[in-house]
A and B are shown apart, each in its own frame.
Chain A
């Protein structure tokens, strides 16, 4: 390291380091901009990675760093784990992967904040406020992400965990954190003398808060939670930037924070619910069986594969609507194969993807891209709905709430007002479903009883595979 320091002795002066940080920030911005289009997205990710690389390298060249050994141990071990995780993860497991990475970002920021807190001999408010924020946001991002990971991977129940006085307990916890913040920042250890005791208390409370705010949220609301945790991991890094007065942490953290907030907002709009409603209502735990839901019931018309094939064979336009069920059944490859066969047969095939389909924003798009579906066939509801009346067949695969016409028609329905894909208006709609059990939210779906709906019961993957073999014979 001696040699490195001599070679770069000039380059390591503070001004130049900061210039490189600015360059890194610019690369992050360009990277994110390029992520805006499928053609440039991959390059954009590389540009952003370059930004990270130069930021890390110039930081390593900082002359005041005296012990490199453990830094390299951390870098090597972290890279190893990162590479293995990134290479081995299945695309269907992407939501939990993103969740756990968010958590790691959060804990890293928490540790940076804690280290700086224990170091700083003279505490001033300008440093203490961001330290407190880093620890709290980082801490709740960490445990919140772990819970989200558990829910998404099925390790813990995906159902909302609701108990009496939940709001009160969370409220008390937040007040406690607030008092702790005052103690740490304004009183500076008037009541608790040891720094580390205050720190431990702050970490413990924020860990607990992270767990408690995520457990009441159900599986289908996970896209919102993941986006929100994504935002928090950025905000934690941003707060850490104020602790060490570092511009690149602030810029990068703020970009991520903003990105997560926008995604959160998009997800909430796509469900026609407020963020507060998603976070606190425990949606889906209370199954409201109102009178209206039973009235809507009518006759269910099942169809078998052979008949479904005949209708599909004659269709000139087909819209495929995938949902979380497609991911669970791992049916994306069979779906793509069916799509291709339909196209060879002369049908126009499009995929209609609702923003909240699946367990994270864009989940279905990734699965279909993995299965080699051309991305220009992946449509949003607004592209599909205007022409849905002229669509011959809609194929609903493992989606439920996002195609529930009650969102449009029944003001009593819990999902009333949510923008949906209007498959009930298509000429014919096939719903691939295991049984008549209601979807996640326990809401009756009148779509199943519409005269133009046919239910194709069974495992989605099996049904699709059977349709594919019908086409091939």
Chain B
């Protein structure tokens, strides 16, 4: 395995532990916004989608088309996810 891959695996393992620590502390009243907020974060795949159109890839029209459809879906996921989470959290008020 090359060094980059090992490093990324290292990042992966640490992120999982970090995620577990962070999320365990979220109270159950916020589970829905947590889920939809986390869902919006999973739209990060939009970065990968945008990068499918980089120069060295352009020779394959099919790949390019797939990448652009991915941009669309990931954008719905990101924009819709953050907005709806924001809308929900706006309703949580204390008297």
Contacts and interface: CB of A to CB of B under 8 A. Distances in A.
Contacts of B89: 41-42, 45
Contacts of B75: 74-75, 77-79, 82
Contact of B91 (A65, A104, A254, A370): A370
A284 interface: no
Interface in B63-92: 63-64, 66-92
A97 interface: yes
Contacts of A86: 79-81, 83-84, 87
B92 A85 contact: no
B49 to A, nearest CB: 5
Interface string A101-112: 110110111011
A177 interface: no
B85 to A, nearest CB: 5
Interface residues of A, number: 109
B68 A70 contact: yes
A116 interface: yes
A467 to B, nearest CB: 21
Given A60-B50, A237-B44, A250-B8, A83 B28 contact: no
Contacts of A35: 26, 30, 33-34, 37
Given A38-B29, A86-B80, A252-B44, A56 B50 contact: yes
B72 A126 contact: no
B47 A55 contact: yes
Contacts of B11: 247, 250-251
Interface SS of chain B: helix
Given A82-B77, A85-B84, A105-B45, A256 B26 contact: no
Contacts of B20: 258, 261-262
A29 interface: yes
B27 A36 contact: yes
A81 B29 CA distance: 28
B91 A234 contact: no
A44 B43 CA distance: 17
Nearest to B17: A258
Given A52-B43, A86-B87, A252-B41, A112 B82 contact: no
Interface in A227-269: 227, 230, 233-234, 236-238, 240-263, 266
A361 B31 contact: yes
A352 B66 CA distance: 47
B34 to A, nearest CB: 5
A374 interface: yes
A371 B85 CA distance: 16
Contact of B38 (A111, A238, A259): A259
A10 interface: no
A258 B73 contact: no
Nearest to A98: B36
A138 B57 CA distance: 22
B72 A78 contact: yes
A67 B51 contact: no
B45 A65 contact: no
A276 interface: no
A203 B19 CA distance: 29
Contacts of B18: 29, 255, 258
A378 B32 CA distance: 14
Interface string B1-23: 11011001001100111111011
Contact of A365 (B4, B30, B73): B30
A87 B87 contact: yes
Interface in A251-296: 251-263, 266
A119 interface: yes
Interface string A89-123: 10100100110011011011101101110110000
Given A108-B73, A109-B48, A256-B38, A262 B28 contact: no
6 contacts: A71-B50, A81-B80, A94-B36, A230-B39, A366-B88, A376-B94
Interface of B: 1-2, 4-5, 8, 11-12, 15-20, 22-58, 60, 62-64, 66-95
Given A105-B74, A247-B11, 12 more contacts: A36-B26, A45-B33, A55-B44, A64-B54, A91-B91, A105-B42, A105-B43, A108-B46, A240-B48, A251-B11, A366-B32, A374-B93
